Amino acid sequence: MRVRRTFWVLLGLAVLFFIAARSPLMPLIAGQKNWTPEMQAVFLRPMYLLAGMMAVCAIWAFLSVRNLEVHRYARLLRHQVGQVFEERIEVTNHTRRMRLWMEVKDNSPLPASRGSKVLAGLGSRQARSYITRTQMIKRGGFPLGPTVVTSGDPFGLFAFSRTFPPEKMLVVLPYMVELAGFPIQPGMLPGGRALRRRSLEVSPHAASVREYAPGDPLSRIHWKTTARRDRLMVKEFEQDPQADVWIFVDALNSIQQAVSVPEETGAQNEFWTFFQKTDVTLPPHTFEYTVSSAASIANYFIRQGRPVGLACNGKSAAVHPAERGERQLSKILETLAFVTSDGETPLLGLLEAQAGRIPRGSTVVLVTAATDTTVDLSLDLLMRQDLRPIVVFVDPASFGSLLSPAAALTRTRARGVPAAIVRRDIPLEESLETGFFS
């Protein structure tokens, strides 16, 4: 409960009326020896009226947030940075009393959320809903709530609030750009011997058959074997021998650099302004550019039909084996949505753990903000394993650091390894498409 200033004003008046009715000085001021009941009533009746009004307002305010329901509906709970999240918030009054006004406040941690609104005149057993639109500016997971409903009495003496916990989680995927091209060393696209590994994906390499299990798609049924054995049999496939693409994201905390900028103060009131989509810029942090670069590269290769794997050396290491398809892209983007730059193990340690599991001839893309010799040691390790490295440097100097990857870039290119630099003041697609040839 929140007591407003008006209550204290009325309480002060009631106290003054009571003092006036009981004070022995007031009859003398009025020219009388003692108070008569009629004269006391002049002061006591307003006091009783004010006290009764305050009691009624307190009960009214308490009941104003009872028997309410708030639900939040959204068609999609997975969006990408830069897209617009549309949500419908519905408030239902389950009583026969009319609610004069109520403030619906969205306390979701979603940046620039526009879910707060004031509703007036919610009738008996009536539901009121409104649409909110919020542009996504930060990746991660955000609960849709809590939602706080505040209402009070007609005179504004009291305000009661009720909190509705979040029911759903919004996942904001990292920002990524559509790449028209990305370098890859010639002759490393197809080829190689059969890997003899079972695959959940349909590939041109059928390995064997097995009995049908509930959930198997009908397209995998081998009808000849089914007719011969008189029971449903489905095909099993081997992994395509085409070389994989692995993306290693360097989340080491000590190499990251950020620029301090004032945070968003929140969204404007939609009652007075029209929603307008704006251009979204990445937060000025090297790791945000690292994540967006990795997401864009993964999207490019999966669109090309390549099997893509992901590894990240965050505090809790994340590894996704190489697979094809939209499902793999969704897993990679969701992992990148939650990963943070809190790693303590250098990228070289992650490569030593994973390089032996990557098929020979595969392409390994390193996305890092490192400027020291760690990159050189990583390249030596990959080339000894007969892997084809590509390096994307995120330049910490463009974020205010004194360190620059220019020397590491020169050493990398001297080895014949494609490399490019991503800078804060250059569009991401330009750096990833043409930076390898500059």
* Whole-number average pLDDT of the chain: 84
User: Which pLDDT band, with edges at 50, 70 and 90, does 305 fall under?
Assistant: confident
In this predicted structure, the answer to whether residue 136 has a pLDDT above a threshold of 80 is yes
Q: Which of 370, 202, 372 is nearest to 287 (CA)?
A: 370
In this predicted structure, the answer to whether residue 140 has a pLDDT above a threshold of 70 is yes
- Mean pLDDT confidence for 168-176: 93
Residue 275 confidence (pLDDT): 61
Q: Which of 115, 390, 110 is nearest to 243 (CA)?
A: 390
Residue 99 confidence (pLDDT): 87
Q: Among the ranges 72-81, 206-215, 265-274, which has the highest mean pLDDT value?
A: 72-81
Residue 377 confidence (pLDDT): 93
Residue 320 confidence (pLDDT): 92
Please state, in angstroms and rounded to a whole number, the distance separating the CA atoms of residues 361 and 267. 50
In this predicted structure, the answer to whether residue 132 has a pLDDT above a threshold of 70 is yes
Residue 314 confidence (pLDDT): 85
Q: Are 333 and 358 in contact (CB under 8 A)?
A: no
Residue 193 confidence (pLDDT): 43
Please state, in angstroms and rounded to a whole number, the distance separating the CA atoms of residues 221 and 226. 8
More confident residue, 422 or 185: 422
In this predicted structure, the answer to whether residue 129 has a pLDDT above a threshold of 70 is yes
Residue 189 confidence (pLDDT): 44
Peptide bond into 359 cis (omega under 30): no
In this predicted structure, the answer to whether residue 396 has a pLDDT above a threshold of 70 is yes
Residue 196 confidence (pLDDT): 45
Residue 351 confidence (pLDDT): 92
Angle (CA) 65 70 72, round 5°: 160
- Mean pLDDT confidence for 140-146: 93
User: Which pLDDT band, with edges at 50, 70 and 90, does 199 fall under?
Assistant: very low
In this predicted structure, the answer to whether residue 297 has a pLDDT above a threshold of 90 is yes
In this predicted structure, the answer to whether residue 279 has a pLDDT above a threshold of 60 is yes
Phi, psi of 142 (to 5 degrees): -130, 120
Tell me the per-residue pLDDT of 234-247, one tens digit each, with 9 for 90 and over. 887 655 555 789 99
Residue 70 confidence (pLDDT): 93
Residue 266 confidence (pLDDT): 45
- Mean pLDDT confidence for 242-260: 88
Distance of CA 269 to the CA centre of its chain: 22
Q: Among the ranges 191-195, 208-212, 282-286, 391-395, which has the highest mean pLDDT value?
A: 391-395
Residue 194 confidence (pLDDT): 43
In this predicted structure, the answer to whether residue 116 has a pLDDT above a threshold of 80 is yes
Side-chain-facing half-sphere of 335: CA atoms under 13 Å: 25
Percent of the chain with pLDDT over 70: 86
Residue 332 confidence (pLDDT): 95
Long-range contacts of 316-320 (CB under 8 A, 24+ apart): 317/345, 317/350, 319/354
Q: Cα–Cα distances in Å, from 311 out to 174, 292, 304, 353?
A: 16, 15, 20, 10
Tell me the per-residue pLDDT of 347-386, one tens digit each, with 9 for 90 and over. 999 999 998 888 888 999 999 999 888 899 999 999 999 8
User: Which pLDDT band, with edges at 50, 70 and 90, does 33 fall under?
Assistant: low
Percent of the chain with pLDDT over 90: 42
Residue 97 confidence (pLDDT): 85
- Mean pLDDT confidence for 383-412: 91
Beta bridge partners of 364: 246, 389
User: Which pLDDT band, with edges at 50, 70 and 90, does 200 fall under?
Assistant: very low
Tell me the per-residue pLDDT of 58-106, one tens digit each, with 9 for 90 and over. 998 888 888 999 999 999 999 999 899 999 999 999 988 888 889 999 9
The model carries a pTM of: 0.77
Residue 228 confidence (pLDDT): 87
